[in-house]
Chains A and B, each alone.
Chain A
Amino acid sequence: DARVTQTPRHKVTEMGQEVTMRCQPILGHNTVFWYRQTMMQGLELLAYFRNRAPLDDSGMPKDRFSAEMPDATLATLKIQPSEPRDSAVYFCASGPGLAGKGDTQYFGPGTRLTVL
């Protein structure tokens, strides 16, 4: 049963510290998405990649957030420095990249980040 995996599942850190979240997409999927979910803002798209290239990161605060795909099996989302307002659940999703055919996104279990 292929699944998107995310690590860590929970992270508590202090303001100013660097946070790195990792995602392993489903093998063979060529699109990867990062979302942030909060009570106030709901589900927000931060960035997405196709074939490891960033297609859109307009939803991401550029001064402190960065997203990369070092290889096809790993996507990372970094926050440096972290702030209390970054506290949220961060989801990674992957998809087979069926352009024009209603690509389904498969979500990971999320990383719950708390910044004190």
Chain B
Amino acid sequence: AQSVTQLGSHVSVSEGALVLLRCNYSSSVPPYLFWYVQYPNQGLQLLLKYTTGATLVKGINGFEAEFKKSETSFHLTKPSAHMSDAAEYFCAVSPNTGFQKLVFGTGTRLLVSP
């Protein structure tokens, strides 16, 4: 069975500050890992994903995440927050074999203050 834990249901940062959203996963097989973003009153949108290869993954809007197998983590970062980054962020995991559904975390709401 696979699961995802997102630490912190809410994270607050000031505009221009570093954004760090935490995600830890549990998987019995090598995983694929995803970050999705949900803006108010919209569906989820893929930010980035890790499948194979380079463990540092760059996504849209300046976000990146690093897969650390030893720490079972896939934290999302952005060097400088913008007001437009305020949204809810979901980490998700799936096995890397066959076709399997995604298992989503509970989400972290990012608040950005001026």
Contact = CB atoms under 8 A, between A and B. Distances in A.
Interface of A: 4, 31, 33, 42-43, 45, 48, 50, 55-56, 91, 93, 97, 99-110
Contact of A102 (B34, B42, B101): B34
A33 B45 CA distance: 14
17 contacts: A43-B44, A97-B99, A99-B98, A99-B99, A100-B99, A102-B32, A102-B34, A102-B50, A102-B94, A104-B49, A105-B46, A105-B102, A106-B46, A107-B43, A107-B45, A109-B41, A109-B42
Given A100-B96, A102-B34, A102-B49, A45 B101 contact: yes
Residue among A4, A33, A43, A106 having the largest count of chain B Cβ atoms under 10 Å: A43
Residue among B49, B97, B102, B104 having the largest count of chain A Cβ atoms under 10 Å: B102
A56 B97 CA distance: 17
Contacts of B45: 107
Contacts of B44: 43, 91, 93, 105, 107
B6 to A, nearest CB: 10
Nearest to A109: B43
Nearest to B94: A102
Contact of A103 (B36, B43, B99, B106): B99
B98 A100 contact: yes
Nearest to A110: B43
Contacts, number: 55
Contacts of A103: 94, 99
Contacts of A99: 98-99
Contacts of B36: 107
Given A100-B99, A102-B34, 8 more contacts: A4-B43, A50-B99, A55-B99, A91-B44, A100-B97, A100-B98, A109-B43, A110-B43
Contacts of A107: 36, 43-45
A26 B66 CA distance: 30
A4 B46 CA distance: 14
A43 B92 CA distance: 11
Contacts of A33: 101
